[in-house]
Copies of this chain bind each other. A is one copy, B any other.
Amino acid sequence: MTRCTYYTATTLDGFIADEHDSLAWLFEQETQEGGPAGYEEFIAGIGAMVMGATTYTWIGDHLRANDEKWAYDIPCWVFTHHDPAPLGDAITTVSGEVRGHHAAIVESAGDRDLWVVGGGDLAGQFADAGLLDQIIVSVAPVTLGAGRPLFPRRHDLRLVDLDRNGDFAVATYDVVGRRSD
């Protein structure tokens, strides 16, 4: 069965980017190569990725600023109300409810898993639809006080795994469901 994971970094106070969408607080942290919940190990199991318009735009800006190319060869689904220029091959733009596109996204992942890249609201939409299985967060030793929220929803989780990777606390949670209170 295809597993759907929201794999992201966050500040200790729950922001995935600052108010200006900067990730400076993230890139200055150190990780341990081959360490727990590392990116290389994670991405090896991923067959398709999903992101929102802001995340996609951020990646495009970042690639242009650094004269880099789209790094992924797996299908990427972008939830957007606009029609952004494709940054690479196998990018599909969609809009509307996540449930309506889920079968196609799962199909595109083959026998591997789905990665919800972000932002927090898109991950929340997957969770609300009962389609998010796990959250894996790398918690940076930083507080920002404001910014883009990690997961703007009331949900119960279950701590499955906890480890340190360099400067990060890395936690894996199963998504239990929406809170009733």
Contact = CB atoms under 8 A, between A and B. Distances in A.
Interface residues of A, number: 41
A145 B141 contact: no
Nearest to A22: B181
A14 B124 CA distance: 16
Copies in the complex: 2
Contacts of A142: 154-157, 179
15 contacts: A12-B135, A14-B150, A18-B181, A24-B181, A141-B173, A142-B154, A142-B155, A142-B179, A143-B155, A143-B157, A145-B151, A145-B154, A159-B167, A159-B169, A169-B171
Interface of A: 11-15, 18, 22, 24-25, 124, 135, 137, 139, 141-146, 149-159, 162-164, 167-169, 171, 173, 176, 179, 181
Contacts of A141: 156-159, 173, 176
A103 to B, nearest CB: 27
The 10 residue pairs across chains A and B that have the minimum distance between CB atoms: A14-B14, A13-B14, A141-B157, A145-B152, A143-B151, A141-B159, A13-B150, A143-B155, A162-B164, A162-B169
A136 to B, nearest CB: 12
